[in-house]
A and B are shown apart, each in its own frame.
Chain A
Amino acid sequence: MNSHNVTIAGYLLVVAAIVLLQLLATKTRAPIPSLGDLLTRAMRTRTGRVGMLVAWAWIGLHFFAR
């Protein structure tokens, strides 16, 4: 397995963990909040809300803007 494949496997592992946590949160009684609940919680305050929206804006800037 070369470095390229190891790097991609790492990303896939993170994605799989996100899907697993979300499924555990929404389909079972495990004490895990869903990602939506966490985002809502993080965005209760103004700094949290603006911080999350700026992070979202940064994704757009990073992929499309000069």
Chain B
Amino acid sequence: MKRSLIALFLVAVLTLPLFAADKGTSEIDLKLGIIPSPNLMAQGNDIVAAVSEYFPIDSIETYSLNNGIGVSGKMGFVAGLDYFYYVKNNLGMGLGLNRAFPVEYLNADIAKIDSTNIYLTAKQKVNVESFLDAIYFVGRLGYGINNLESLYPSDLVSIDNGLYWALGIGFEKSSILFEVLYSVNYSKLNIKLDNGSGELVNASSDITVSAIGINIGYKFEL
């Protein structure tokens, strides 16, 4: 369902240039970036539910953990590519793809997560009269293909793909870009636990990977 919606969205944007009466300019942006401190969060109530299933103690369920708890990761690296078509002078719509290389959470052998994100993107420029050529606001909405490498075999511990979004601010000077982005990948952690008598019990929790990223890029005008 989610996938088909995104596919529809992508088709809509891809065909958008065909409907534009006034042909605008387009650009391709190449980007490299760092994610200084990504956070991997799980929903507290999911954890309480999973724990209370595994350890059937009544009192555990009475604790309500409305917020998330999680772990911080080591610095991650990102490489990506965006295509923008300017539907208005300062408003670009486009498509993008990025790869967030594996990030270590806790220890490399415990959890390493990487994502490939495909997204629709919009860029609103504001022209400035100073040392910069322009400031822009950028938004992304798309789908993230997430992958977990861990100590445990993937049939016992795995994560789902899911929605990806990002919001950010960028600066342009000549053809050089500098961006600061906040991004979130929604996923689900699926675990099979041995319940003590040799049977495997399923437990799952919604998880999110959120990060502030810093990108530098280069813009090719077409």
Q: Do A and B truly interact?
A: no
The interface of chain A, by Cβ under 8 A from chain B, is: none
